[in-house]
Amino acid sequence: MTFQEDSSPLLISGVKPVGFGRGVPQEATDILIGGGGKIVGVGNSLQMPEGARRIDAKGAYMSPGWVDLHAHVWHGGTDISIKPQVCGIERGVTTIVDAGSAGEANFHGFREYIIEPAKERIKAFLNIGSIGLVACNRVSELIDMRSIDIDRTIACVEANRDIIIGIKVRASGVIVGAWGITPVKIAKKVAKILKLPLMVHVGEPPPVFDEVLEVLGPGDVVTHCFNGKAAANIMEDEDLFQLAQRCANDGIRLDVGHGGASFSFKVAELAVQRGLLPFSISTDLHARSLDNPVWDMGTTMSKLLSVGMPFEAVIDASTRAPMEVIGLPTENLLSPGTRAEFTLFEVNDSNLHIVDSMGYNAHLPRLIEPVWTILGQEAVKASRYVPPRKSALESSACPHCGWINAR
């Protein structure tokens, strides 16, 4: 069910605002959206203007629109990407950040055929490898120095600064081979020249996780921060854990980046117990992780909730924190005059049993489930993605992520 955007006002009643930061009235249960999709009233028991449409949220939570900081939506341009609508507005996600599907050689097609027509806001980390993930690990984007064209990469970013918000490099052995840490250093240099953050995929070495962290600085992003791969997870090495803590305290952003082979419930649980929370929650959704084991943003958020991450922190890590990374405003999101962009969701009791990226079972006692997505004066009915049950219970071996030993 969709309300098409028009000139009539939209009244959302009976919501519980969460994740908007300071200054939101505790009694605010109604939001009135007027012309241009801008907020015209916030309060309790607002009067419904003549000709307005109304959504009765029935006590659902309302947060800023969810932001998925790591997904792959260059559908048709790579062999792993999915369509934006599969993981976007109908799943409660208003902003999708593509994490390196395109490099400088094919970004123009990504922009023209996917980004510009999409209803969702799509931003992108540009892959330091010129070809991006065209054939993913079957043809690595980082075979040798010929895979990187620094001049063309810089030119591509300068021509697309409205969309490109950072540089991406995949730093794991199946991708970089004997290159080791060198591609990360090149990518960091390019990011510094462009004054943009660097997102680094970490996985099985080389290079080792420790080397990667030593290259990065405040504002950079480490994705797959709770992976469970041997010689790459932060809970198997106390020195690495303490290094990760120091880096997080210094402003390096730890991103979940669940993916097909990059999230361990046990690693996440132990890290959260010791006070190391992720900066941002993201899915790393692609064709190999959609049905097994990621599903969608709401389910990924529920997993972090299940390992002990506080509810408010889960919401912040799915909204305002990733908004900060990509340069979106994070204040006054419920103030009159601001364009409406919200996710309405419920937190329901559950008995769902699910597997992580390592193939191990876990229980989700509570599920975060989107019910409406609000973009301006348009309201789109939302829900969690539910894959075929057989896929949900299978192991999650993911050769595209470089890990094939799932049990």
The pLDDT value given to residue 108: 98
The pLDDT value given to residue 406: 39
Number of H helices and E strands in the chain, helices first, is 12, 17
Judge contact between 72 and 98, C-beta under 8 A.
yes
Beta carbons within 10 angstroms of residue 6's beta carbon:
12
- Rounded to an integer, what distance in angstroms lies between the CA atom of residue 119 and that of residue 138? 31
Q: Can you read off the two tokens belonging to residue 214?
A: 């030593």
- Rounded to an integer, what distance in angstroms lies between the CA atom of residue 312 and that of residue 18? 7
Q: Can you read off the two tokens belonging to residue 117?
A: 């027509």
- Rounded to an integer, what distance in angstroms lies between the CA atom of residue 384 and that of residue 90? 8
The pLDDT value given to residue 26: 63
CA-to-CA dists, residue 144 to 19, 24, 148, 191, angstroms: 44, 52, 8, 19
Q: Cβ neighbours of residue 88 under 8 Å, at least 6 residues apart?
A: 94, 96, 118, 119, 120
Q: Can you read off the two tokens belonging to residue 255?
A: 């991103």
- Rounded to an integer, what distance in angstroms lies between the CA atom of residue 317 and that of residue 311? 10
Query: If we measure between CA atoms, which residue out of 279, 347, 363 comes closest to residue 313?
Result: 279
* Crossing angle of the two packed helices 265-273 and 297-306, in degrees rounded to 10: 50
Q: Can you read off the two tokens belonging to residue 53?
A: 């449409």
The pLDDT value given to residue 400: 47
Token pair 């309060």 is found at 43
The pLDDT value given to residue 389: 64
Query: If we measure between CA atoms, which residue out of 86, 175, 126, 101 comes closest to residue 399?
Result: 175
The pLDDT value given to residue 335: 92
The pLDDT value given to residue 403: 44
Please state the separation of Cα 130 from the chain's center in Å. 23
Q: Cβ neighbours of residue 74 under 8 Å, at least 6 residues apart?
A: 81, 98, 101, 102, 106, 110, 114, 132, 133
**171 membership: H or E segment, kind and range:** strand 164-171
Q: In sequence order, what DSSP letters do the residues of 107-166 get, joined into one string?
A: HHHHIIIIITT-SSEEEEEEESSTTTTSSGGGS-TTSSGGG--HHHHHHHHHHTTTTEEE
The pLDDT value given to residue 1: 40
Judge contact between 39 and 31, C-beta under 8 A.
yes
pLDDT digits (tens, 9 = 90+) for 108-141: 999 999 999 999 999 999 999 999 999 988 999 9
Beta carbons within 10 angstroms of residue 112's beta carbon:
10
Walking along the chain (407 residues) 10 residues at a time, the average pLDDT comes out as 64 95 76 94 90 94 98 97 98 98 98 98 98 93 96 98 98 94 98 98 94 97 96 94 97 97 96 98 96 94 97 98 97 94 98 88 95 96 86 48 44
β-pairing verdict for 2-3 and 16-17: unpaired
Query: If we measure between CA atoms, which residue out of 138, 133, 167 comes closest to residue 150?
Result: 167
Q: Can you read off the two tokens belonging to residue 161?
A: 């600064």
Judge contact between 84 and 57, C-beta under 8 A.
no
